[in-house]
Structure 1
Amino acid sequence: MPLPPATAARSRKHRRSITFEGFKRDDGLWDIEGRLVNVKDQDLELRNGVRRRGEPIHDISVRVTIDGAMNVVNVAASSDYTPFMGVCERIVPDYRQIIGLNLFKGFLKAVKALFGDTRGCAHLSELLMALPTAAYQTFAGEAKHGEHEKKPFHLDRCHALSTDSEVVRRYYPRWYRSQTPG
């Protein structure tokens, strides 16, 4: 169901685009690439000059290489446009600290601890926070139905897939847990 129509006349001032792409590599690893682009619909006067309408304020990308168990084995990041070119991108190499982390085991907490506040780039960290679900969506369809020895990752991650939901009872009966006592 789409959003309802706007109730007042309006003019767009800003567009943020966030995209993710997932790739299965020939060597058995996976690449998850994220990109965040902020663009203004009018000229923007920054402290260090003017960014023209349509020219990115931010254009930031990250590629995380993972194995089949969701362990981060490599990271590449770039800051092609930032408000303070020559300064903002200096933090990019620090993001290699996520190598060795697992996207589904403490990843979000670790990213916040490593790069929260002034320890990182808010926009690059924002991309990392969405990586686990982007990776999960990349893996969707790779596992065959009924092959799960362990509870599938996506169960208990949203209300529709709660292990006491009708969806789980119907489509994942092995993992269904009734809320009714006894």
Structure 2
Amino acid sequence: MSAANPSTSRRPLHRRAFDVQVFARDDGQFDVEASLTDTKTHDVPLAGVPRKAGDPIHEMHLHLTVDSSLTVTAARSETRWMPYPGACNEHGQAYARLVGLNLMNGFRQGVQERLSGTRGCTHLTELSLVLPTAVIQALAGSVIDTREGDSDGAPPFQLDRCHALRRDGATVARFYPRWHQATPDASTTAS
């Protein structure tokens, strides 16, 4: 992505790419494969060793399995490229601590409690924070009902979670009329 109208010439320096893929399993669970890759456009010294332009500075992977309620049932990490071999990849099975967290309920807070700071890797922890919306997007409309809401009569989960889908807005009025809530008229509420 580039700026709409850069005001001066420029050159790329660094790229961070996230990739998240979700797979349906035959046992009813879902595998989540996520990666973070950092590359530079110029050679850089790392831990006294030159890293060539285009070679990854970081290439890290998270592998999760989640059930249909989006609770993590298995988790592991893998670090393939890193600045400090023998140190960066020595976090052991830290990311197994994601097991038991639910992607729709308190996941990001749970990640911070279990893996922030020296309890994990900064980059893998950051990568884990993009997983809730990516997995929900993967399952929306097929596994997660995005139209009718849950069996308790609650509205679809996505409503009131972003400005476009606020329940008093035009988008909800048009596409989710059952769940639309008109904004109270200020003249009738002021007394």
Distance in 2 between residues matched to 1:134 and 1:170, nearest whole Å: 25
Report the CA distance shift for 1:146/1:41 in structure 2 as closer, same or farther (over 3 A).
closer
Cα deviation per residue 1:74-109 (whole Å; 9 max; x = unaligned)? 112100011111111111511101101111111101
Q: Structure 2 length normalisation: TM-score?
A: 0.88
Aligned to 2:115: 115
The alignment covers a number of residue pairs equal to 181
Report the CA distance shift for 1:92/1:156 in structure 2 as closer, same or farther (over 3 A).
farther
Secondary structure of 1:89's match?
coil
Distance in 2 between residues matched to 1:147 and 1:154, nearest whole Å: 11
Displacement after TM superposition at 1:66 (Å): 0.6
Answer with 1 or 2: which has the greater Rg.
2
CA contact (8 A) 1:43 1:52 kept: yes
Aligned to 2:51: 51
Secondary structure of 1:134's match?
helix
Aligned-residue CA RMSD (Å): 1.7
Is there any run of 5+ residues in structure 1 with no aligned partner, and where? Answer: none
CA contact (8 A) 1:162 1:168 kept: yes
% same residue: 36
Displacement after TM superposition at 1:178 (Å): 2.1
Is there any run of 5+ residues in structure 2 with no aligned partner, and where? Answer: none
When structure 1 is superposed on structure 2, of 136-145 and 56-65 the one drifting more is: 136-145
Distance in 2 between residues matched to 1:145 and 1:103, nearest whole Å: 16
1:88 equivalent in alignment to 2:61: no
Aligned to 2:155: 151
Q: Structure 1 length normalisation: TM-score?
A: 0.92
Cα deviation per residue 1:121-157 (whole Å; 9 max; x = unaligned)? 1110111101000111110230566443332221111
Q: 2:167 aligns with which of 163, 170, 174?
A: 163
Distance in 2 between residues matched to 1:92 and 1:21, nearest whole Å: 24
Distance in 1 between residues matched to 2:180 and 2:118, nearest whole Å: 43
Q: 1:174 aligns with which of 164, 167, 178?
A: 178
Aligned to 1:69: 69
Q: Equivalences for 1:121-132 in 2 at 5 Å? A: 121-132=121-132
When structure 1 is superposed on structure 2, of 169-178 and 66-75 the one drifting more is: 169-178
